Amino acid sequence: MSYRRCDKCRSWLGCQGYNWYQPYEIEDNGCRQQLIWIITNLDGLARGEYPPDPQGSGYVGDNKPIFRSGGKFHTARDIYDEYNPRLERAGEDGETLIHEVHQGLGLNELAKAARNALNYCAGYKRKKRRYGIWLSTRTYRLARKSVK
């Protein structure tokens, strides 16, 4: 994984992911690599702790407070509150995804059930369909496309 910004990424296909994400990058995109990063840091996000930037800020000087509306934990909790229900809606496949990500498996090493859950949970907005219905219509479309 490299250290660069995700705001110009337009396709999930060539995305290699990054070591760390700004909160606005996750809110704007929600790609598969970001979701793997979120799952890796899920416990801290649940506690309201956003992972620190591994590169540091590079800021040298006195630590003047920066005033923002709300507490520091709001960003982490907002991300957790958005993506944890998505994982729960994926049921057993979502649990498989969490387990495999915590084992350190990459995107190409995930089991089919985990990849299905990953595709269901990723994206800008939550899917309106339940996971089972989404999966059956997706499988049907893929099968129809291969027949033609």
Q: What is the pLDDT of residues 107-147, one digit of tens each?
A: 889 999 999 999 999 988 888 999 999 998 886 666 666 65
What mean pLDDT comes out for the span 43-58? 84
Specify the pLDDT at position 142: 61
pLDDT on residue 47: 93
CA distance 64 to 101: 38
Q: What is the pLDDT of residue 144?
A: 60
Q: Give residue 62's pLDDT.
A: 47
Phi, psi for 88 (deg, rounded to 5): -65, -35
Of the pLDDT bands very low, low, confident and very high (cuts 50, 70, 90), residue 5 is low
pTM above 0.85, yes or no: no
The answer to whether 45 touches 76, Cβ cutoff 8 Å, is yes
Highest mean pLDDT among 20-24, 51-55, 128-132: 128-132
Q: Is the pLDDT of residue 92 over 70?
A: yes
Distance CA 146, CA 148 (A): 6
- Reading the block at residue 129, the tokens are 């369909």
Angle at 126 between CA 120 and CA 130, to 5 degrees: 60
The reported pLDDT for the residue numbered 116 is 94
Whole-angstrom distance, CA of residue 116 vs CA of residue 94: 9
> Could you give the CA distance from residue 49 to residue 94 in angstroms, rounded to a whole number?
22
Contacts of 92 by beta carbon, 8 Å cutoff, 6+ apart: 113
Local confidence band at 61 (pLDDT 50, 70, 90 cut-offs): very low
- pLDDT value, residue 74: 60
Q: Report percent pLDDT > 70 for the chain.
A: 69
